[in-house]
Amino acid sequence: AHVPADVKPRLHFHNVAVVPGDPETDLLLHIARVARPEDFVALKIDIDNFKVEHALVRELRTNARGTNVSMLVDEFFFEYHFKVRTERPVRPYRSIMPFWRVQSTRGNSVDDALALMRELRQAGI
């Protein structure tokens, strides 16, 4: 896709391993440092590590670390992984990437996903 020249200086990708709370790699701390309320901030979290993703989303929802990033994020994109009960076994991508299925589900349900989305909406995201 083409990125207009006037947008390029304001477009940032955080392409490093994220460790929540680490001032060098935590993308929420980075946003809190560089974004201003008048900026348009679109945040996509797709780390494929359940613990890291949910720590970041929890911070957006609760502001437990005092980052106030939820006040800066205008649009948020996040793939919530959850278990689905079916009549027959579902094995997506098992032969290609078996670690995703084990790491990403951890007992979360559709109800948990909907509750989280509702809480994020209530937080203004």
CA 61 from centroid of its chain's CA atoms:
11
DSSP 68-91: -GGGT-SEEEE--------SS---
Task: Give me 10's structure tokens.
Answer: 């304001």
pLDDT in tens, 11-55: 877 788 888 888 888 889 989 999 999 999 999 988 878 888 888
pTM as predicted: 0.70
Question: What average pLDDT does range 92-107 have in this prediction?
Answer: 46
